């Protein structure tokens, strides 16, 4: 079709993905998008913006085709997968191209919370298309892809600073600094492999439950090695991903945004065959403290899991929020509230396991009992308090002798920090042997599989942004 830059292209060698419905007949004869059947027998609505045609500039017609694909995904209850290479709106068409882009953006936004949306970026995604991928639930970028709203030319004109495409918006920059991409892969084949892996944990739409995955990993498998990972010192470090691998089915998980805000881990996995979303503090990065990026990362992940009926497992080991003037000025209050908000409104099954430290405001926001979780467990190594013994001594015993401070810390730990005190007051449901953690989680997931909550009708909530 003249002026069109959308095409059904070969997405993989062989027959592992095939077109089961060509959408061209519904859009003025253009072969622009299709319903694909994946190797896993899952159907998705797929569209591709072809960067080899006019550098992928989006004409009004092309944008309307994107909108048509998004509406089809929503109407049919199928995930939307967009493969994008675009230099932006077509300059030659002027305002018509911008109008088309707005139509596409609205249609994709209407998919939010109805069907999962995934963008695969294999080249440039500039200006409007960059915002389209920002609307997606997950973004996969190949190593040579880049995305930005304002390019190097505009940056140089406004700031006098010369930057390259890669430095400004390369896949690595988005993986580490902006969090705009969920993962970076080598090529298109790897992007599809990651996408299919992700979809294996997700339902096709909001009206379905995530698919169960058969496993030979027994529910009652003991995991003493999980507790053995916790250092004897409260300041010792360990990789919480090792704990996750021990708890989940067959040690397999899919981490999302692994390189952005590494002080918190977000991942999908199966436990007892149930897909779950896992949120875990990461002690090897910033001691597991919460800062702005970590709060945003966890909040968006929890919100997605809640939207698509994926239970949430929270593993807690954090000394609190990261302190600093810069963070406070950048809005630590607002962004910390995002995480509070995400957990507070989540209605999916929620299980919290406190591995070690859980102090102060971070105790509250990491799905504490009074935030409404369904089950709150603690290991004997857990410490729950406003702050640690050393911090409390520094404030309350600052004029005391070293011996008096040591006595205070010891008494503080015995009286206030141990999890049995919290359990007596109902803030923890049970203190368990770490070896029994997987069995307890599996039992809870079986019990909560039919959980439903009736929400008060309202137009929508007002997320703290």
C-alpha 19/C-alpha 35 separation (Å) is 6
Instruction: Calculate the alpha carbon distances from 268 to 71, 160, 171, 178, 371 in Å.
Output: 27, 43, 22, 21, 22
* Residue with the two structure tokens 């989006």: 58
Q: Please state the pTM of the whole predicted model.
A: 0.90
The sign of the CA dihedral 88, 93, 95, 99 is: negative
Q: What is residue 87's three-state secondary structure? A: coil
| Contact between 147 and 155 (Cβ < 8 Å) | no
The DSSP 8-state label assigned to residue 26 in this structure reads G
| Contact between 295 and 336 (Cβ < 8 Å) | yes
**What does residue 54 show for φ and ψ, rounded to 5 degrees?**
55, 35
Q: Give 388-395's long-range contacts (Cβ < 8 A, gap of 24+).
A: 388/234, 388/319, 388/357, 388/359, 388/417, 389/413, 389/417
One digit per residue, the tens of pLDDT, for the chain of length 465 reads: 334 444 444 444 344 666 666 665 444 333 368 888 888 889 999 988 876 666 667 777 888 888 989 999 999 999 999 998 887 766 666 787 777 778 999 999 999 999 999 999 999 999 888 999 999 999 999 999 999 998 888 889 898 999 999 999 999 999 999 999 999 999 999 999 999 999 999 999 999 999 999 999 999 999 999 999 999 887 899 999 999 999 999 999 999 999 999 999 999 999 999 999 999 999 999 999 999 999 999 999 999 999 999 999 999 999 989 889 998 999 899 999 999 999 999 999 999 999 998 887 888 899 998 899 999 999 998 988 766 666 666 676 767 777 667 766 676 666 767 888 888 888 899 999 999 999 999 999 999 998 888 777 777 878 887
C-alpha 50/C-alpha 447 separation (Å) is 48
pLDDT at residue 23, as a whole number = 64
pLDDT at residue 94, as a whole number = 72
pLDDT at residue 387, as a whole number = 64
Q: Give 282-287's long-range contacts (Cβ < 8 A, gap of 24+).
A: 282/239, 282/240, 282/241, 283/237, 283/238, 283/239, 283/240, 283/317, 283/356, 284/237, 284/238, 284/239, 284/240, 286/322, 287/235, 287/237, 287/263, 287/318, 287/319
pLDDT at residue 31, as a whole number = 31
- Chain centroid, CA 393 distance in Å: 37
pLDDT at residue 265, as a whole number = 98
pLDDT at residue 436, as a whole number = 98
Hey, which residues does 318 pair with through a beta bridge? 358
Q: What is residue 216's three-state secondary structure? A: coil
pLDDT at residue 21, as a whole number = 65
The DSSP 8-state label assigned to residue 250 in this structure reads G
| Contact between 372 and 302 (Cβ < 8 Å) | no
C-alpha 255/C-alpha 147 separation (Å) is 22
C-alpha 185/C-alpha 191 separation (Å) is 6
Hey, which residues does 460 pair with through a beta bridge? none
Structural domains present in the chain:
18-199 (3.90.226.10), 224-382+418-448 (3.90.226.10)
pLDDT at residue 339, as a whole number = 95
Instruction: Calculate the alpha carbon distances from 64 to 6, 120, 123, 249, 333 in Å.
Output: 11, 19, 21, 43, 40
pLDDT at residue 458, as a whole number = 77
* Residue with the two structure tokens 């307890």: 440
Scanning 316-388, the segments in alpha helix (DSSP H) are: 325-329, 332-345, 360-365
pLDDT at residue 235, as a whole number = 82
Taking alpha carbons only, the member of 69, 96, 68 closest to residue 80 is 69
Nearest 5°: the CA angle 458, 460, 463 is 135
- For residue 172, count CB atoms less than 10 angstroms from its CB and return exposed for 0-12, middle for 13-18, buried for 19 or more: middle
- Chain centroid, CA 144 distance in Å: 23
- For residue 240, count CB atoms less than 10 angstroms from its CB and return exposed for 0-12, middle for 13-18, buried for 19 or more: buried
């Amino acid at each position: 079709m003249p002026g069109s830059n959308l095409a059904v292209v070969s997405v993989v060698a062989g027959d592992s993905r095939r077109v089961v419905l060509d959408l061209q007949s519904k859009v003025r004869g253009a072969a622009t998008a299709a319903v694909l059947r994946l190797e896993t027998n899952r159907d998705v609505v797929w569209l591709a913006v072809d960067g080899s045609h006019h550098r992928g500039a989006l004409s009004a017609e092309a944008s309307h085709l994107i909108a048509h694909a998004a509406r089809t995904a929503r109407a049919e209850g199928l995930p939307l997968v967009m493969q994008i290479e675009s230099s932006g709106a077509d300059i030659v068409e002027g305002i018509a191209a911008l109008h088309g882009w707005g139509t596409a953006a609205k249609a994709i936004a209407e998919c939010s919370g109805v069907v999962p949306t995934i963008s695969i970026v294999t080249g440039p995604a500039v200006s409007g298309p960059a915002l389209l991928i920002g609307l997606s639930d997950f973004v996969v970028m190949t190593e040579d892809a880049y995305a930005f709203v304002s390019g190097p030319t505009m940056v140089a004109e406004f700031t006098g600073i010369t930057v390259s495409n890669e430095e400004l918006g390369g896949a690595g920059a988005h993986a580490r600094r902006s969090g705009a991409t969920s993962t970076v892969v080598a090529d298109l084949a790897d992007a599809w492999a990651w996408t299919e892996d992700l979809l294996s944990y997700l339902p096709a739409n909001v009206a379905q439950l995530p698919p169960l995955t058969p496993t030979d990993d027994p529910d009652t498998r003991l995991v003493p090695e999980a507790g053995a990972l916790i250092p004897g010192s409260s300041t010792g470090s360990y990789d919480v991903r090792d704990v996750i691998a021990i708890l989940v089915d067959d040690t397999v998980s899919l981490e999302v945004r692994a390189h952005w805000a590494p002080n918190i881990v977000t991942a999908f996995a199966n436990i007892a065959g149930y897909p779950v979303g896992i949120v875990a503090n990461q002690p090897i990065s910033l001691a597991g403290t919460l800062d702005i990026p970590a709060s945003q990362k966890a909040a968006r992940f929890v919100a997605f899991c809640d939207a698509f009926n994926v239970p949430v497992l929270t593993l807690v080991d954090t000394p609190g929020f990261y302190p600093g003037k810069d963070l406070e000025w950048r809005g630590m209050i607002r962004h910390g509230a995002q995480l509070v908000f995400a957990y507070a409104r989540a209605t999916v099954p929620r299980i919290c396991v406190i591995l070690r430290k859980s102090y102060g405001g971070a105790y509250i926001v990491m799905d504490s009992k009074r935030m409404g979780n369904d089950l709150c467990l603690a290991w004997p190594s857990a410490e729950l308090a406003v702050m640690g013994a050393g911090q409390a001594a520094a404030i309350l015993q600052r004029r005391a002798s070293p011996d008096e401070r040591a006595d205070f810390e010891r008494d503080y730990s015995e009286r206030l920090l141990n999890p049995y005190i919290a359990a007596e007051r109902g803030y923890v449901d049970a203190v368990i042997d770490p070896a029994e953690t997987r069995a307890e989680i599996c039992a809870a997931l079986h019990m909560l599989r039919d959980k439903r909550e009736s929400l008060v009708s309202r137009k929508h909530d007002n997320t703290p942004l």
